[in-house]
A and B are shown apart, each in its own frame.
Chain A
């Protein structure tokens, strides 16, 4: 049973560039959430996708956008990168309607903006 997978594992970009991160949910899950974790902090919720639509969004600017595909996989796009976007980006999958809110995390993508 495959767990949550993310790609790439590491990425280095420069200010102003754009980046796309990818996530495949755990088998049988239909919902994908994205989180940003800065060093020494807990993860911060970016947004959640279900049925290819953004279901809920955290306090992140419009530079952060996403997409969910019919196979439930998801992408996170960040435009006009800032130094402060350097962080670990985590994808979590869950099954909506399971009633427990339990989310399982992928290994993350570590983004460095220079």
Chain B
């Protein structure tokens, strides 16, 4: 089983749609969670950190369910510029410490159409 699993998609949605991405992780000791965005042939860019209480940044909402080891990203009112690959990321753990290693999912591709 992969340490971080995502549906690779692609998700093809019209402008203005709401789209949700899901991700599961295998290490229940993981403490830090992130969503990164990666445009074609570019570097990953931090979209948002994910907290247990959930967090929102404009049209983007991230949720964490520790019991189910599940992370989600919701994008409302999709824009053409949201077209990208969204990477689910968790930190590596060794015992009770963070290792500094980020573990990435395969990424979910979003294509927003006019």
A interface residues (Cβ-Cβ under 8 A, vs B): 31, 33, 35, 40-45, 48, 50, 55-56, 58, 88, 90, 92, 94, 96, 100-108, 110
Contact = CB atoms under 8 A, between A and B. Distances in A.
Interface of A is mostly: strand
Interface of B: 4, 32, 34, 41-46, 49, 87, 91-92, 98-107
Nearest to A110: B41
Contact of A42 (B42, B43, B99, B104): B104
Contacts of A56: 92, 99-101
A45 B102 contact: yes
A25 to B, nearest CB: 13
A42 B106 contact: yes
Given A42-B87, A42-B107, A45-B92, A103 B43 contact: no
A40 B103 CA distance: 15
